[in-house]
Structures are given as structure tokens and as C-alpha cells.
Amino acid sequence: MDFDLPEDIRLMQATINKFVNQTLEPLSAQIEEDDAIPEDVVQSMREMGLFGMSVPEEYGGLGLPTLGECLVYEEISRVNSSVRMRFSTNNGIGSLGILYDGTPEQRERFLPSIASGEKTIAFALTEPDAGSDASAIRTSAVRDGDQFVLNGRKMFITNGAIADLITVLAVTDPDKGARGGITAFVVAKPTPGLEVGKLEKKMGLRGSGTAELIFEDCRVPVDNVIGGEEMIGRGFQTAMKVLDKGRLTLAASSVGMARKALELAVLYAKQRVQFGRPIGEFQLIQGMLAQMATEIYAGQTMVYRTAWQKDQGRPVRKEAAMSKLYCTEMLGRVCDSALQIHGGMGYMKEYAIERIYRDARVTRIYEGTSEIQKLVIAKELLRD
């Protein structure tokens, strides 16, 4: 076993570290205040290739292995998870369907502008009545010649309002459901019949937009069915494969956020004096710090190991679900302890832990709740 990172990944990590410390860290409070990421920061991320980390070099991306991508997510999320979400749909849930199952022509057509960040791509699966039960989606796609006509509503769509392209899951055969009845499309914006609906006001992740998308007789060419004619009805499988990877990268981000919470807790424990001593000298505080550090180490190791396994071309459905489950639950515990160590100050907006605590909460919900991860893990165990 070799636990040293390859040279090129270490270089990438160092570059990202510099960007994070010099550019992002000082801006984090402003992003929170303005609920927006400054455009020059987005442009810097484009120039660094962050929008195309997972896109192969032949389409203009960096072609990073999953391990490299996870490390980037971990470092960026250490300071601001909203910033990660700005480019993660281009690398993950938005683009992966095209990369995995798209035709060569579709890859040529869509991936270069996704990789450069010129275009933002979102992923639209969730609906008001279909969250965990993803195969219960009702957005319909009815064929009319060489077009499909889409009708329905999608909700909680990350980058939905700003997206130029959207990977949309819709029902093409209601009788077949997840097995042959759901199709994945790429829908461009603007397309008549596609409107951005409500913009959500969230508990956290300020700076990352979450929108409703409304399809009313929205006509999409058959050419935009991911994978072409032969993939009509096979979109659910595409979506599930995409989520397998999304869950792993989200686990990596959770490790980054947890590391930051621990760093803040250690700093505070050294500075805060009570009963005549820094509180870090008290064993109850030390116990919390030790527990946090141990759990972060466990989560980080799971992520790296699963990423390595994926880079070997081996299946990771179970391990990605385990990583997502463990790392996001671990993040919840770590943030709670970090806030506890901060005492009353941790509840105040001037301390970064207050934001991280709020930002962390959704990780146990989106891209599949903890409960769904357990179902996926158990299903794999019983199948094995």
C-alpha cells in the first residue's frame, strides 16, 4: 500500500491551498453577507480549470482522477462550501450523465464549454413529490416527431437559475417507471417553455442559488436525449450512476468542512481562558477535540480509499454511500462539538463556526439522505 499522493495531485493540492488561503478565506464573510460569489472569483476558478476537473483532457478538462478531485473539494469546502457548489455541478451531477452515457457527438457538443466554465450545467431530478423516491418523478416527456415535449416542475435545483444547460430526468413511459420509463435529457436555456420559478431562501449555503424549474410544453430535440435513441427509457440508471460519484465528492467536501470546524475549535480552546486557564487544558474539552480529530481521520481515509478504488475502475456504489453516510453524519457531530467548545460565542454570527454549523446541516439530506444511503448499502450487502 502506498499512501503518498502522486506528484501531480500534490501540486494541484498546493495550488488550491494557495487560492483558498489567499483569495477565498478573506472573502468568506462577504459571500455570506452578499449571498453571492464575486464574479472575479468565479473567473479565477475557470482559469484554474476547476469547472472541468473530471472532464477528460480531449474535451478541454483537467482529466483529474477521482482522488485529485476529492482533494480539491476537500480544500475548497474547508473555507466555503457554497464556492464548491458553484463549480461542482459542472464536474459532477450536471455533466456526468453526458460523460458516462452521452454519444460521442454529445460529448463534443457539450463538454468543452462545461469544462471551461463558459457554461454552467445543473441537474434536475427532484420534484415536489419525488425526493428520496426518485423513481416517482412525474415530469413527462412525450414524443412528437423529432422532439420531446416536457411538462412538470423540478425543485431544489443547485445552480438552476444561472444554468445554461440542465440535465433533466423525465418520464417517457409511465408504465415502466425506473426500469425503462425514465429518460435523461440535456435542456438548454433559454428554451421556450422553460422558466425559472421560486428561488429558495435557505438555512445556510448563502452564495449558492437553489431554484425551482418549470417546464410547460418545453420542446427538446431527440438529439438531446443523453445517449441518443437507444438510451430512451434508461435515464434512471444514468442518474443513479451520477449520484454514486456525487455522493463520494460530497463526502470529501464534508471532510473539508469538518477539518475547518476542528481548526476553529482548537484555536478557540487555546485562546479562551476560563477558571484561570485556556479551556484547552481541561480534559472534557480535550476529549471532544480528540473525538473530532479521530472521526475526521476515519472519514478522510474512507474517502481517499473509495476514490482510489474508483480510479482503479472498480465499482464503488456501496463504498460511496458508506462514505457519504459516515462523513456527513460525522460532520454534524464535529460541528456540534466545535460550536459547544466556542460556548455562547459560537452562536454569534461573528464567529465562522456559526455559518459552518448551518452549511453542514444539508449534507445529511441532499444527494440522498442518510436513510437512503443505508438502503443503498443494505441492498448491496444483501445482493452480494
What is the contact surface with ligand COS in residues (CB under 6 A)?
93, 123, 125-126, 132, 134-135, 178-179, 236-237, 240-241, 243-244, 317, 366-368, 372, 375-376
Task: Pick the closest to residue 308 from 86, 68, 87 (CA basis).
Answer: 68
Cβ proximity to ligand COS, 18 vs 179, nearer residue: 179
- Tally of CB atoms within 10 A around 34: 12
| Dist CA 157 CA 358 (whole Å) | 19
CB of 69 to ligand COS, least distance (A): 17
221 residue type, one letter = P
334 residue type, one letter = V
CB of 137 to ligand COS, least distance (A): 10
CB of 233 to ligand COS, least distance (A): 10
Cβ proximity to ligand COS, 137 vs 255, nearer residue: 137
Spatial contact of 28 and 81, defined as CB atoms under 8 Å apart:
no
Cβ proximity to ligand COS, 210 vs 300, nearer residue: 210
Cβ proximity to ligand COS, 280 vs 368, nearer residue: 368
Assign 87 to helix, strand or coil.
helix
| Dist CA 75 CA 84 (whole Å) | 9
CA distances from 370 to 259, 302, 358 (A): 21, 16, 17
| Dist CA 340 CA 266 (whole Å) | 12
CB of 364 to ligand COS, least distance (A): 12
Cβ proximity to ligand COS, 243 vs 257, nearer residue: 243
Give me the helices (H) in the chain, please.
7-19, 25-34, 39-47, 66-79, 81-91, 96-101, 104-116, 235-271, 283-311, 317-342, 352-361, 370-383
Supply the Cα-derived Rg of the chain in whole angstroms.
Answer: 21
Q: Please pick, among 75, 127, 295, 367, the residue that the annotation labels catalytic.
A: 367
CB of 130 to ligand COS, least distance (A): 8
CB of 236 to ligand COS, least distance (A): 5
Cβ proximity to ligand COS, 276 vs 313, nearer residue: 313
CB of 376 to ligand COS, least distance (A): 5
Cβ proximity to ligand COS, 260 vs 364, nearer residue: 364
Pairing of strands 121-124, 182-188: unpaired
How deeply is 290 buried, as exposed, middle or buried, from its count of CB atoms within 10 A (0-12, 13-18, 19+)?
exposed
The single-letter DSSP state of residue 46 is H
Give backbone dihedrals phi and psi of 149, rounded to 5 degrees, phi first.
-110, 115
Spatial contact of 133 and 176, defined as CB atoms under 8 Å apart:
no
Give backbone dihedrals phi and psi of 282, rounded to 5 degrees, phi first.
-90, 140
**195 included as an active-site residue:** no
6: preceding bond cis by omega (within 30 degrees): no
CB of 133 to ligand COS, least distance (A): 6
Cβ proximity to ligand COS, 80 vs 249, nearer residue: 249
- Provide the annotated active-site residues: 367
